[in-house]
A and B are shown apart, each in its own frame.
Chain A
Amino acid sequence: MTRREQWGLWWRSWWVDAAWNFQRHQNVGFLFMMTPALKRRWKDRDALAAAMKRYTRYVSTHPAMIPVLGGLSLREEEALRADSSRSPKDLHRLKGLMMGPLAAMGDGLFWSTLKPLTLLLGVASVVTIPQTWGKYAALIGLLAAYNFFRLWLMWKGFTWGYERGVSAVGVFQGVTGSIQRFQAVGIVVVASLTALLYPWSSVTILGRQVAPSFAVLAIVLLFMGGLRGRISSTVLFYVVTVGCVLAAYGWDLRNAVRVEVPW
């Protein structure tokens, strides 16, 4: 695999979800990603067609982990080309073995941890940093950090899959511990926002200013109870909105409750 080829694969891996479908998930995007590499290795038209057919099968893994699968597939394609008696079933078996663990790691690392943490820090920057340029700088920094790591992982994924084959999964051995640490950071950020955000605002209830931190904590825990009870966040949003409107009908809110927030 040359550097130029790796650039081409890396760029095409961005499109792996473009034709996502329920039947075979990322098969079309994976074939699109692999096509230039297959054309380079299989000059004969019939051999190329046979190779392309191998990539119309079901593929489902995390988008950032697809390059590992791609590198592994390239490795197997070269083995197939070197040894014509070798069966393509090895390729399908190895892909099947790798898809699940890679999906679990990618989903756990990106979807469940880094993405919500980045977005949470972004929201925290928006509501806490007073200067507008500071908010924008923080957001740009967070997006750059997230995407730098993700794109680096996608680049290296080809190398790991190509050089190590199935044992490329071993590269991600320490991921679970990192996920736990990142999630703990996220929880500390949420706790800090809960404790510090509303004291900066002003809450007046029935003419008396109140310290809202513990009230906010109670409300957050109440919402958590609702979410744990399988009430969706959208339903909670509408319940709270309707509840506040009904409260306004029964209570002169203008004099009873006044909340001023800095955002």
Chain B
Amino acid sequence: MTGLIGVSAVAGLLGLDNRAVGRSLLGEPLCVGWIIGALMGDALGGLLVGAWIQLLWVHLLPEGAVTPPDGTVPTAVAVVLVQRLESRVALDHAALVMLVLVVTIPLGFISRWLEIHLKEGLGRMSEWVDVYAYHGQTDKVTRVILWSAGLETMKTAGLTLVASSIGLAVLPRMLASLPQPIIEGLGLAYWFILPLGLAVTLEVFHVTNKLRVFLGSFLVMTVAYVMVQSGRPWLLVAGVAAGWMFVRWNFRANKVTA
């Protein structure tokens, strides 16, 4: 339990970086998975779990008043559950990761719901700041900032702790009675995470305006791979040079003028 409290506290601080203070990418699922995984004893495993959640939501941007799903909480909980359950259940790693992702991804939306209400509350706090400004009370403005950051941290840490505790209590029993087809299906679905993540990333980069760049690069890389496999490196050099010229030509053709 002490370990869970510590992990939740770290998740709370990382969530603060992701949503409110710093924005240094340490609160992104990739880094959260890495850090929480390191705390749990398997940094690499945590990194992979974080990578999948990262790719799933990389296109959801906090522009303007938009509040995207929170990636910190599901990543932290998923890493905790995978690390703790791996030794306790006889389940294929891929199937376990998929099952944990299925269960923890809704936490991103629960955290977002809490954050929306928190922001509405901060709107009322902003009215107190009007009064502090009217009286020139600069230290109270600082207090509002610290309180806001504290509430955000507690939200993330609290949700991580509660969800991890429930998951560790409920999932082992659930996994023990899981039918074999579900385990196999989850194992196969693991294969699809990366292609889905790549498709999501392409959406961020507006690939529809640069489709020839994408397809041209894909063909160049596939041909390069085949050439390397065939053991004719001189063909590879010529192929890459031709491919590079092809990609540059396509890039110029797809270039959007400012």
Please determine whether B256 and A234 come into contact, CB atoms closer than 8 angstroms: no
Q: Which of B3-11, B167-175, B217-225 contacts A (4 or more CB under 8 A)?
A: B217-225
- B contact residues around A29 at 8 Å (CB): 145
Please determine whether A193 and B102 come into contact, CB atoms closer than 8 angstroms: no
Please determine whether B138 and A253 come into contact, CB atoms closer than 8 angstroms: no
| Complexed CA–CA distance, A49 and B131 (Å) | 10
Please determine whether B221 and A191 come into contact, CB atoms closer than 8 angstroms: yes
Please determine whether B25 and A187 come into contact, CB atoms closer than 8 angstroms: no
Known: A190-B201, A196-B225. A20 touches B98 (CB 8 A): no
> A94-137 interface mask toward B, CB cutoff 8 Å, 1 = contact, 0 = none?
00000000010001000111011011101100110000100110
Which chain A residue has the least Cβ–Cβ distance from B121?
Answer: A21
> B185-197 interface mask toward A, CB cutoff 8 Å, 1 = contact, 0 = none?
1111111111111
Please determine whether A227 and B210 come into contact, CB atoms closer than 8 angstroms: no
| Complexed CA–CA distance, A46 and B135 (Å) | 8
Please determine whether A20 and B122 come into contact, CB atoms closer than 8 angstroms: yes
> B118-132 interface mask toward A, CB cutoff 8 Å, 1 = contact, 0 = none?
011011011001101
> A219-263 interface mask toward B, CB cutoff 8 Å, 1 = contact, 0 = none?
111111011100001101110110111111100011001010101
Q: Report A137 CB to chain B, min CB distance, Å.
A: 13
Q: Which of B59-67, B78-86, B157-165 contacts A (4 or more CB under 8 A)?
A: B59-67
- B contact residues around A19 at 8 Å (CB): 122, 125-126, 129, 144-145, 148
- A contact residues around B130 at 8 Å (CB): 53, 56
Summarize A's interface: helix, strand, loop or mixed: helix
Please determine whether B221 and A195 come into contact, CB atoms closer than 8 angstroms: yes
Report A's interface with B, CB cutoff 8 A. 14-15, 17-25, 27-29, 31-32, 35, 39, 45-46, 48-49, 52-53, 55-56, 60, 63-64, 103, 107, 111-113, 115-116, 118-120, 122-123, 126-127, 132, 135-136, 139, 143, 146-147, 150, 176-177, 180, 183-184, 186-188, 190-197, 199, 213-214, 216-217, 219-224, 226-228, 233-234, 236-238, 240-241, 243-249, 253-254, 257, 259, 261, 263
